[in-house]
């Protein structure tokens, strides 16, 4: 995997966290179209990547009153029942945008699972385990990072589980 020094991008809380942890990753900036709201699909297309390798970060509100993070391929949707079960809840729903931004420190469309303001229980879809590299938001619209799935899970202290459909 190429280091950030090959393809530079903005410095974000995500890149700072990966740099501090000594994790190798590739920064992939691209031109974000402000009219686009399907950010993961835009990233996959702009970067010429397989959508099953580009993952979106979803913050969920658990019925216990806490929050968690689900990371699934942009080509799928999150199975919220499965996400809730993995995170120890009976139910969950997508968190309100204001909660997402408050908890993560990122704006919608630029939410990275790495370097969030508040540490949240994180689950990454099991399909990531079979990939050499996964691509997630780098903490800004128009900026993704590619890294090894094991490095992603280790950095967010998460786990793999089948949560996509």
Write out pLDDT tens, residues 55-64: 999 999 999 9
Structural domain contains residue 153: yes
In a domain, 4, yes or no: no
Per-residue pLDDT at 37: 87
Supply 77's token pair: 């949707």
Tokens 């968690």 — which residue? Answer: 68
Contact 53, 131 (CB under 8 A): yes
pTM for the full model?
Answer: 0.94
Strand order in the sheet with 143-147: 26-29, 143-147, 134-140
Total number of domains constituting the chain: 1
Determine the structural domain holding residue 95 and report its residue range.
Answer: 13-161
Q: Is residue 104 part of a domain?
A: yes
We report the CATH number of the domain holding residue 63 as 3.90.960.10
Residue 126 lies in a domain: yes
User: How many Å from the N-terminal Cα to the C-terminal Cα in the chain?
Assistant: 28
Beta-ladder partners of 71:
57, 124
């Amino acid at each position: 995997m190429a280091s950030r020094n090959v393809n530079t991008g903005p410095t974000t809380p995500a890149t700072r966290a990966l740099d501090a942890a000594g994790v190798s990753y590739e920064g992939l900036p691209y031109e974000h179209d402000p009219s686009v709201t399907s950010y993961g699909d835009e990233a996959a297309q702009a970067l010429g990547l397989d959508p099953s390798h580009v993952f979106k970060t979803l913050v969920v509100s658990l019925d216990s009153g806490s929050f968690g993070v689900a990371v699934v391929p942009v080509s799928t949707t999150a199975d919220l029942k499965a996400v809730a079960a993995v995170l120890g809840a009976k139910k969950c729903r997508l968190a309100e945008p204001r909660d997402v931004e408050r908890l993560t420190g990122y704006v919608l469309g630029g939410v990275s699972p790495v370097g969030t303001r508040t540490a949240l229980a994180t689950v990454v879809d099991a399909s990531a385990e079979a990939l050499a590299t996964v691509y997630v938001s780098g903490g800004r619209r128009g900026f993704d990072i590619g890294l090894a799935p094991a490095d992603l899970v280790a950095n967010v202290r998460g786990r793999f589980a089948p949560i996509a459909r």
